[in-house]
Chains A and B, each alone.
Chain A
């Protein structure tokens, strides 16, 4: 622009140059603030790119330093080592562990205004001891996916209650000995816990200074006995979700169903792209005779975004986590690319959610269904040693499946390990039957 000015006005040019320089100097900082963000979601880089375009003064770099299984130990090591990320994704069940280790910042003050616009279930999951420690990204209403074409082929009814579910599973195995309805994955404790939530169970609860552990409860026994019966009858498989064995069975049609959550369709599409359009989805079966505490879904996974307690730029980091959990553009991208069900209530009305998922194209009401299920989900809480408990669960149940021993006894051993672990660390623990 300055070039177009006639060279006969050198003083004017110089003046403009100075004014330009001063304006630029006042508006642009010398260097952008750089934040690191740990997340493992697919395409997360593209979502963050939107922020980077809109915020040249605060540039966020994504790092896939850890997956869901290693996030807590890696964060711990990074904090001890002095170079933690500024922002991190965290699954709800790992949040208490981060809180007790002092890894995440208390954002109660700055985030109080967001409570009204957030799903109550999700808000409850990011609050501990009366303080807010992260902002929820999404929740995971659970659903039962099944091969509609194979159900029709074998004359199976879609189960609405758990007893019906067991009957369908046994019937299928009788008609087609090499097929099963679903698998019982011992490697996914989160699924089992969520199934107990349906009956109102809550494994960890903080009452003042005391942790109340309720794992081997009568409700959980009901679930344990239910699945033990199915496993012994060989009416369900015992492969692990997403393993090669399981993926092969799903692709082949040797497994007809999947108990999972709202984010499953694109994962199924990855495994068995050829069966697109052959699947359908319903809410989880329910327990028919329960009055009172009885829900449509438990809490299985779901993640939140937290700010590190050691970040050098807390204001900018909090701005970012607010953006990525409630900004419509961010959430539109997150929904489109990562397939979450947002915790932000406004975002649940976004057009991206008004369509059917690509893998189940006839269900245009898929997200309406998800919303309804989410409204009937209990408030639950997690404890500081979830990963240790889940590890005990994996080993105990794998042993029970292999050795044909009682699932409920396995559950009792999980409770014993959990309580012992907490007591050794010095926590006050009460076991609530």
Chain B
């Protein structure tokens, strides 16, 4: 946490009323409890229940406790693990590529003599304004055979058009939509971090005759590393929750199943198979994975900080 106030004023301070902080934090806590915590706990409860039939045929359905059955079915569902695998495949492509480009664009924006800086920055930031459903639809049109302008351009010049929905290409196609949507936002985060680096640190290097790219690599990049890792983490969490891109493209062809990534499996269980209980159990797996990954990355960052200080 940045410590901006001078150490002298960090004295132990007694608020005039013990209630004061709760006045400010209260609304957020209430809303959190009602809108986030309660539904979450309810979902946990649901994950231990299920619907069972009493009397066959058109018999009565009732909600009963089923212990860990839902978790058992979730854990033994090959689709869940296949989904994790596919999600990982997309993440391995999208996170590094997106970070590389966000970093590259940020560094380039920060280098001197760049023309059309404002235009480029705004254009690259614009995809952030597009909702995921719409972005996926637009890219879907650009990918689909028969309507894709890219494929048409390839055919017109006599080359075989790329199959965006191929066995291996599909991961790149989905990753591309992710990258397209978030590179601008992350670029701006990194760029503002860059602007926060005092220019004195590399003015000397410049005067000494260092080239811009050397400065970027040896001075700016190491200072940016924490920001890069943080944006990488958010990106990773986003990948684990990958949903709207494959969901929008799924009905358009044969390349994507309705359980292609874990969150799609949750949606399928909850809304298509009408089994909200299975959906809740599967979501827990996804949530646990997200928390684990986050803790691992944060621990890594903490250890790095400790090593730096020692």
0 or 1 for each of B64-90: is its CB under 8 Å from A? (1 = yes): 000000000100000000000000000
Residue B303 interfacial (CB < 8 Å): no
Residue B120 interfacial (CB < 8 Å): no
Q: Are the CB atoms of B255 and A402 closer together than 8 Å? A: yes
Question: When chains A and B are docked, how far (Å) is the Cα of A210 from the Cα of B53?
Answer: 12
Residues of B within 8 A of A (CB): 51-59, 61, 73, 140-141, 144-147, 167, 251-255, 257-259, 268, 270-274
Q: Are the CB atoms of A208 and B57 closer together than 8 Å? A: yes
Residues of A within 8 A of B (CB): 70, 72-73, 76, 96-97, 99-102, 128-129, 186-187, 206, 208-211, 238-240, 243-246, 248-249, 252, 254, 384-385, 387-388, 391, 394-395, 398-399, 401-402, 421, 424-428
Task: Show 21 residue pairs from A and B whose CB-CB distance is below 8 angstroms, ordered by the A residue.
Answer: A129-B57, A187-B251, A206-B57, A206-B58, A210-B57, A211-B56, A240-B251, A240-B254, A244-B144, A245-B252, A245-B253, A248-B146, A387-B273, A394-B258, A395-B257, A398-B254, A399-B257, A402-B255, A425-B51, A426-B52, A426-B54
A427 and B53 in contact (CB under 8 A), knowing A186-B254, A206-B58?
yes
A244 and B61 in contact (CB under 8 A), knowing A73-B271, A426-B53?
no
Q: Are the CB atoms of B273 and A425 closer together than 8 Å? A: no
Return the contact of A129 from the options B58, B141, B273 (Cβ within 8 A). Answer: B58
Q: Are the CB atoms of A245 and B147 closer together than 8 Å? A: yes
Question: When chains A and B are docked, how far (Å) is the Cα of A385 from the Cα of B268?
Answer: 13
Question: When chains A and B are docked, how far (Å) is the Cα of A206 from the Cα of B59?
Answer: 12
A387 and B272 in contact (CB under 8 A), knowing A245-B253, A248-B146, A399-B257?
yes
* Chain B hits for A187, CB < 8 A: 251, 254
* Chain B hits for A128, CB < 8 A: 58
The total of Cβ contacts below 8 Å across the A-B interface reads 103
Q: Are the CB atoms of B252 and A243 closer together than 8 Å? A: yes
Shortest CB distance A188–B (Å) = 10
Question: When chains A and B are docked, how far (Å) is the Cα of A206 from the Cα of B55?
Answer: 13
Q: Are the CB atoms of B146 and A70 closer together than 8 Å? A: no
Q: Are the CB atoms of A391 and B268 closer together than 8 Å? A: yes
Return the contact of A244 from the options B146, B255, B259, B272 (Cβ within 8 A). Answer: B146
* Chain B hits for A102, CB < 8 A: 61
Return the contact of B167 from the options A206, A246, A402 (Cβ within 8 A). Answer: A402
Shortest CB distance B198–A (Å) = 52
Q: Are the CB atoms of A99 and B58 closer together than 8 Å? A: yes
Question: When chains A and B are docked, how far (Å) is the Cα of A313 from the Cα of B36?
Answer: 36
Shortest CB distance B290–A (Å) = 25
Question: When chains A and B are docked, how far (Å) is the Cα of A76 from the Cα of B277?
Answer: 14
* Chain B hits for A70, CB < 8 A: 271
Question: When chains A and B are docked, how far (Å) is the Cα of A266 from the Cα of B56?
Answer: 42
* Chain A hits for B272, CB < 8 A: 73, 387-388, 391
Question: When chains A and B are docked, how far (Å) is the Cα of A238 from the Cα of B254?
Answer: 8
* Chain B hits for A425, CB < 8 A: 51-53, 61
Return the contact of B253 from the options A210, A243, A254 (Cβ within 8 A). Answer: A243
Q: Could you say which of B52, B253, B257 has the most chain A C-beta atoms within 10 Å of its C-beta?
A: B253
* Chain B hits for A97, CB < 8 A: 274
Question: When chains A and B are docked, how far (Å) is the Cα of A210 from the Cα of B55?
Answer: 10
Q: Are the CB atoms of B147 and A248 closer together than 8 Å? A: yes
Q: Could you say which of A101, A210, A402 has the most chain B C-beta atoms within 10 Å of its C-beta?
A: A402
Q: Could you say which of B140, B251, B272 has the most chain A C-beta atoms within 10 Å of its C-beta?
A: B272
Shortest CB distance B244–A (Å) = 16
* Chain B hits for A211, CB < 8 A: 56-57
Closest A residue to B260 using CB positions: A395
Shortest CB distance B234–A (Å) = 30
